[in-house]
Structure 1
Amino acid sequence: MRSHELRSDNELSGTVHGPTIQAGSVYGGIRIGSDPRDLSPSPWQLPPPVHVIDRSKEFEALERHRARTVREERPALAAVSGLGGVGKTTLALKWLHTLRPHFPAGQLYADLGAQAPDGPALPEEVLGRFLRGLGVPPRQVPVTLAERMTLYRSLTADRRLVVLLDDASTAAQVRPLLPAGRSVTAVTSRSRLPGLTVDGCYPVHVEPLDPEAAVELLADTLSDDRVAAQPDDARTLVELCAGLPLAVRVAGARLAARPERRITTMVRALAEERDRLEVLGIDGDHDVRAALDLSYRTLPPPAARLYRLLGLHPGPEFASPVAVAVLAGEGNAAQLLDTLHEASLLLDAGEERHRFHDLVRLHAAAKARADEPGQERERALRRIADHYLASATRAEEVIDPQHRTMARDYGPGPVVTAESGHDPEASLDWLERELPNLMAVIRQSRAAGFPSVGWQLADALWPLFLRRKFYDDWLAAHEEGLAAAEESGDADAACRMLTSGGVGQLGAGNHDRALEMFEHAAQLFEEAGDRLGRARTLNYRGLALQRLGRLDEAAGLFRRATVELPACGDSRAAALARLNLGDVVLATGLSQEAARHARAARCALLEAGDTYNTARAAILLGRAHLAQDEFDQAHEHLSVALAALRGLTAHYEMAHATVGLAEIAERRGHAHMARAHYQEALELYTSVGRSASTQAESARQRLGQLESGESEPRRQSDDPNPPADSPATSQE
């Protein structure tokens, strides 16, 4: 909330809307403000709790630890360790959910994926999700791990949060994710994580249930009188399950599905499976494997096949259309998914999404290797990859219909596409939600034998990366995509990965690497005899040189582009090059030449129907007039550009135009109007995030100078502000 100022020389009675304030009689000047952090959303990310059997000792130990940290006024950190399937997460969830009334700032949750097929989650990725959960707009999430840690600690310093870091692999993975302030953090892991001791961690090791508690859990699962009627068999069964809650529940689910079956039958079947299941080798939990395998053997054949094929899915969770895709239209996927849920082999991840417990996922994958022919496994993997590629491509078309999408190639059989929505924002949300799965497919594609999917999927993610700035994934996706394109010998694909990936490097601040990639693309285009492709790289290379401060070299490349691109049939790209050239020459003080380039670019872009870049050309023209003290002309062009950009939510360019209007007002002596414009520009730059941090700081400083009475205006026209979203990106 902005501070509101109420002043009255007489009695004033009323209500201020925002955070509601009811006033009675008010005299004199009153300033009412609130901390902006108060408006940040409270995330409630913890999965729902489940019923816990006999963990009172561990629960009381956790509560004693928390009470001690309250007295000592320090954060509470506890590590819950134990075998897979022993109930670590169940215990942690029960404890943390009871704390909700005491921690109103919210709950954060992350699956750190120690057992994930593609390796544990990176701390910087988790921090990015946490920051967005705490209300940081995607564009404002910093790029580096160090910057994300700093912002995370700043945001959590005065908040009372509950954090669950599930399935951690090492203390080093956990440490960057610990909040500041007096929050409570629980970490679950199969290892004891002794390295967290130096951070004040309290260890709680969870052992399998004793027989009495395990029998109680079996009775709770069955919800009938069989345990009471067959107590000895029930005890033998839970002993065969090694007291692990996962195994007991799976065995109980199978019995619950057959009310007429005696527990003795399950005991006999489970005992017979123990030796044969050694081959599965899931962390030495032999009896868990036996229970899972027995459950698998009693599935109807179509459900068993779906279970096997879903075990090949590379990501942490999946939506229902994935099941349709792997079945290739055979069978009722929704009913088969329900069957797997009823057998406790799938967990509900919300919104028609599903996930495996990590042990169950390993079991399903092992069954796929054992029971599915190699060719069918390859086909299923390709159907999963095609599902994500087709769905991402559809989202790309909705978000950016003018993007020059390269051809897609799919494997045999029907391609199932998810419904990502017809609204660009909804499609962006779908891409962001599925990003972990999309990245897992990209990383898997070469080894799985379909490298083209890797670079095509990276290409389809272009609108997400451009708008929401997931720089870590942007760079990783295009690095893998480039390797896939080169492995396939596809020069066109390699050039696309180099140029699109280079734009990501520019946004991440790696200007030298970006220039290197653009020059590599130019070399490939030249070797292929592609004059148009090579001419387009002139713009990219010029932008990299501009960011590196090598303005003369940048101007030289932009000048070449204005000549070579029209000769190759791309007048729009030539207009963008002229626009970039005008920006560079204005930075060197050549305002009349800059105005000439801006006019030419605006006419060409207007003719091409490019509203966004036409507005950018108008901004450049306004800045050129402003540099010549032609305030009326400058105001006209900047106002026209701002009106056009408001409909496009182009915050960076809107801010740039608004700063120009602020300078005009300031130099005309209209200080109040100048302050209003600088304030609006500051808010717009801030919404863009890290890529506009320099401009935001400049607007903040100028606003402060105006409020303190300083009168010398900064000349915006003397400050070349290369656009946050590179104009060269439009060429794709």
Structure 2
Amino acid sequence: MGWVQGADVGNSFSGDAGVVVQAGVVHGGVHVRPSRGSGLPVPRQLPFDVPDFTGRVEELRRLDGSVTGDGTVAITLVSGAPGVGKTAVAVRWAYRVSDRFPDGQLYVNLRGFGTTDPMTAHEALDAFVRAFDVAPERIPTRVDELAALYRSLLATRRVLVVLDNAVDVDQVGPLLPGSATCAVVITSRNRLAGLVAGTGARRVVLEGLSPVDSVALLTAAVGVDRLDAEPEAAGELARLCAGLPLALRIAGERVAGSRHHTLTDLVDQLAAEQDRLDLLAGVDDQVDVVRAAFSWSYRKLPALAAGVFRRVGWHAGPEFGVAAAAALADLPEPEARRVLGTLVGANLLTEVGRERYRFHDLVRLYAVERAESEEAASDRIAAVRRLLEWYLRMADAADHRLTRRSYCVALDHADADDFFSDQRQAVRWCEFERANLMAAIRQAADSGEHSIAWRLPIALWGFFFLNKHMEDWTSALTIGLASARRTGDRRGEAWSLHSLRETRFSMHQTSDVSEYPREALAIFLDIGDHWGIREALSNLGYAHRLRGELDQALVHLDEALSLWRQTEDLWGRAWTLHSLGETYLDLHRWDDAARALGEALDLFTRIGHRQAEGFALSNLGYLLLGTERFASAIDQFRRAMAVHDEVGDHWSASRSLTGLGTALHATGAIADARSCWREALAISEDLHDWPTAQRVRALLAQ
């Protein structure tokens, strides 16, 4: 960090200067962080725009008219039956007006209808604020606070928000920006009357394509010559498909894929299919039309592709990759990749990214129907278990990369380094797959795979410890604890309780912070899990420290350290030494603190745990501060800051900045000290780290 001295310094600038540093004499390297709200990225999240988009001239014109500039946020609801093309219209219009929203276009599939649970408002808000590079530790856990942060980010920006596949008003309400500079387009099968009444949203209702547009869409798929050869059949096929673009595309692909199938053949086939489906017809005949259209493509598939289609319907998450599909289908990845390409070509899957696939929700339902009809229950159980075990192996490998623990609860870490080359890659995978991992935990519990249901949250400890997705973390561990208790798995119960204590620590819930470690320790002692006993003793000591019960903390930590020293496990020894060092700092036992923290730092460095190295460096800075070695403390805090920045540990950065400011203040660098404290306050408030924020405010008030 560079610090400014000298008074008679003046510079002027004009325009958007972003971050400006005005300096007289600068000591050390200049370290600049962007101020909040400056230099934010411009998200471009719109999905693929279908190339054969047809018609909808009037609907697009009405969407154009929704952006009136009358001082209120423009909200438009596009509603209609399944398969009518709501998403295609919203995305086409969003691309058409994207230049009017230069600060970004946000998109989310809210999963309102389908076999998976709808996305919560919290999940969607979390993804949106992350799109603006808000640090994970600064993201609130309460949905109202998260919505407030989201609205603040958009307050002065021109951003278009596309909320696709919404289920109800409660889901979309928190996702609406408050600024008139923004616009929102929502798609839903429901009419969301409360949204229109409560916000004045405009509604655009989609019906099926007109006969002319329906035939035009068929022409794009099969070619002019074949349509001209059978004009009456083309018109009848458009009628039988009810003008639904999804059904029309599948019908067109069915004819285009074979020289021997005519439009007349397909008309006859659909008519017969409708007769049979009449026995199953519900309130929405259009759904039966689409199901019939799916059957044309499904029956044309090779046997292997049909089997993969059925089995990937069992994937519980919003989208999936090649490796997950390979696990479900029990195929090598190259073969699974080829078959997925076949399903994309048949319009039964959508490729939403590089080797990432998603079902239309109706297609997923159809896949599940076919699986229930054609697959044995034992095959379903085996396929789902393979998928869940694949997620567990990957999460376990990521945890090893992040924590460098020598002992693993979930698996054995044997092939961890084969999956991820470094920590950043492991974090990226966990973040990318987070929704699927949460879905897998729920699916494991619901399908009776209770051992995986508790082990998978434990394997995600390192990821959640770093990125602090508190709602997901707590939910995952709660599901795991219930599964362990349901099956009487004492080891799973103990480790779930043990991990839940970290969520209490992170949320500053100190009143009953020792509850989980005590329960876990009792079980570990009962079942003879010696690694767990050492871990629980360490954390029980840390819990007492947080409550200010320092003598009790030392008793448990000393006992734990004695046990760790009897093993070759450096990870547990390092963390216990670190907790001891913090406790000695609280007691002003400086020499003991120096020995404990120095040994902890050495061990963290040896095992490659960079985040923990930053912790230890920061506490050594506080040791130097407490012994009034201010110049050395400044250097130590700067070393800590370099590590915090490297790993993205903003919580620790606020703490180190607080100490750095105090050391600078003691040397007479008052302005630089206050600059550090202001930055620490901003970070701690964003993180909802209220104890740190309160301490920093007191420093600024002096």
Q: Normalising by structure 1, report the TM-score.
A: 0.83
Cα RMSD over matched residues? 3.7
Q: Distance in 1 between matches of 2:138 and 2:86?
A: 35
Q: Is 1:304 the equivalent of 2:306?
A: yes
Q: Distance in 1 between matches of 2:176 and 2:141?
A: 19
Q: Number of matched residues?
A: 676
Residue by residue over 1:274-319, the C-alpha shift from the partner in whole angstroms, topping out at 9 and shown as x without a partner, is: 2334559795421111111121111111111111111111111111
Structure 2: 5+ residue stretches without partners: 21-32
Offset of residue 627 of structure 1: 3.9
The one-letter amino acid paired with 1:484 is: S
> Residues 513 and 373 of structure 1: is their aligned pair in 2 closer, same or farther, counting only changes over 3 Å?
farther
> Residues 112 and 669 of structure 1: is their aligned pair in 2 closer, same or farther, counting only changes over 3 Å?
same
Q: Distance in 2 between matches of 1:347 and 1:644?
A: 41
Residue by residue over 1:488-517, the C-alpha shift from the partner in whole angstroms, topping out at 9 and shown as x without a partner, is: 332222211111122023213444565332
Structure 2 match to 1:384:
387
Q: Distance in 2 between matches of 1:134 and 1:696?
A: 23
Structure 2 match to 1:28:
none
Structure 2 match to 1:605:
600
Offset of residue 344 of structure 1: 0.8
For 2:363, which of 348, 360, 363 is the aligned residue? 360
Structure 1: 5+ residue stretches without partners: 22-32, 706-711, 713-732
Conserved 8 A contact 1:140-1:689: yes
SS state at 1:275 partner: helix
Residue by residue over 1:607-663, the C-alpha shift from the partner in whole angstroms, topping out at 9 and shown as x without a partner, is: 645576677556546535644545577568667766777776655445544543432
Structure 1 match to 2:25:
none
For 1:159, which of 157, 177, 180 is the aligned residue? 157
Structure 2 match to 1:185:
184
Structure 1 match to 2:519:
520
Structure 2 match to 1:30:
none
Structure 1 match to 2:27:
none
Which residues in structure 2 correspond to 1:242-257 (within 5 Å)?
242-257=242-257
Residue by residue over 1:8-62, the C-alpha shift from the partner in whole angstroms, topping out at 9 and shown as x without a partner, is: 999x9999996699xxxxxxxxxxx998524111111111222432212222222
Offset of residue 87 of structure 1: 0.7
Q: Which moved more, 1:655-664 or 1:630-639?
A: 630-639
Q: Distance in 2 between matches of 1:514 and 1:176?
A: 32
> Residues 474 and 53 of structure 1: is their aligned pair in 2 closer, same or farther, counting only changes over 3 Å?
same
Structure 2 match to 1:720:
none
Conserved 8 A contact 1:399-1:427: yes
Q: Distance in 1 between matches of 2:385 and 2:213?
A: 45
Q: Which moved more, 1:73-82 or 1:201-210?
A: 201-210
Offset of residue 210 of structure 1: 2.6
SS state at 1:258 partner: coil
Q: Is 1:438 the equivalent of 2:437?
A: yes
Which residues in structure 2 correspond to 1:344-423 (within 5 Å)?
344-402=347-405, 404-408=407-411, 421-423=420-422
> Residues 207 and 653 of structure 1: is their aligned pair in 2 closer, same or farther, counting only changes over 3 Å?
closer
Structure 1 match to 2:446:
447
Conserved 8 A contact 2:238-2:248: yes
Q: Distance in 1 between matches of 2:636 and 2:132?
A: 39
Q: Distance in 1 between matches of 2:574 and 2:345?
A: 61
Q: Distance in 2 between matches of 1:145 and 1:20?
A: 31
Q: Is 1:595 the equivalent of 2:586?
A: no
SS state at 2:161 partner: strand
Q: Distance in 2 between matches of 1:478 and 1:627?
A: 38
Conserved 8 A contact 1:595-1:620: no
Q: Distance in 1 between matches of 2:627 and 2:696?
A: 22
> Residues 632 and 362 of structure 1: is their aligned pair in 2 closer, same or farther, counting only changes over 3 Å?
closer
For 2:138, which of 119, 137, 140 is the aligned residue? 140
Structure 2 match to 1:551:
548
Conserved 8 A contact 2:305-2:343: yes
Which residues in structure 2 correspond to 1:264-343 (within 5 Å)?
264-277=264-277, 278-279=279-280, 284=285, 285-329=287-331, 332-343=335-346
Offset of residue 117 of structure 1: 2.4
Conserved 8 A contact 1:542-1:555: no
The one-letter amino acid paired with 2:224 is: D
Conserved 8 A contact 1:619-1:657: yes
Q: Distance in 2 between matches of 1:35 and 1:610?
A: 31
Q: Is 1:695 the equivalent of 2:697?
A: no
> Residues 212 and 35 of structure 1: is their aligned pair in 2 closer, same or farther, counting only changes over 3 Å?
same
Q: Distance in 2 between matches of 1:269 and 1:212?
A: 22
SS state at 2:76 partner: strand
The one-letter amino acid paired with 1:213 is: D
> Residues 640 and 440 of structure 1: is their aligned pair in 2 closer, same or farther, counting only changes over 3 Å?
closer
Q: Percent sequence identity over matched residues?
A: 32
Residue by residue over 1:399-427, the C-alpha shift from the partner in whole angstroms, topping out at 9 and shown as x without a partner, is: 332263125399xxxx9999854121122
Q: Distance in 2 between matches of 1:363 and 1:290?
A: 10
Q: Distance in 1 between matches of 2:387 and 2:530?
A: 37
Conserved 8 A contact 1:108-1:164: yes
Q: Which moved more, 1:222-231 or 1:437-446?
A: 222-231
Q: Distance in 1 between matches of 2:501 and 2:174?
A: 29
Residue by residue over 1:454-487, the C-alpha shift from the partner in whole angstroms, topping out at 9 and shown as x without a partner, is: 1221122112101111111111111111122223
Q: Which moved more, 1:283-292 or 1:145-154?
A: 283-292
SS state at 1:188 partner: strand
Q: Is 1:54 the equivalent of 2:55?
A: yes
Q: Distance in 1 between matches of 2:416 and 2:269?
A: 41
SS state at 2:67 partner: helix
Residue by residue over 1:671-708, the C-alpha shift from the partner in whole angstroms, topping out at 9 and shown as x without a partner, is: 3553565467568x46x951545435654774x66xxx
Conserved 8 A contact 1:536-1:561: no
Q: Distance in 1 between matches of 2:78 and 2:3?
A: 45
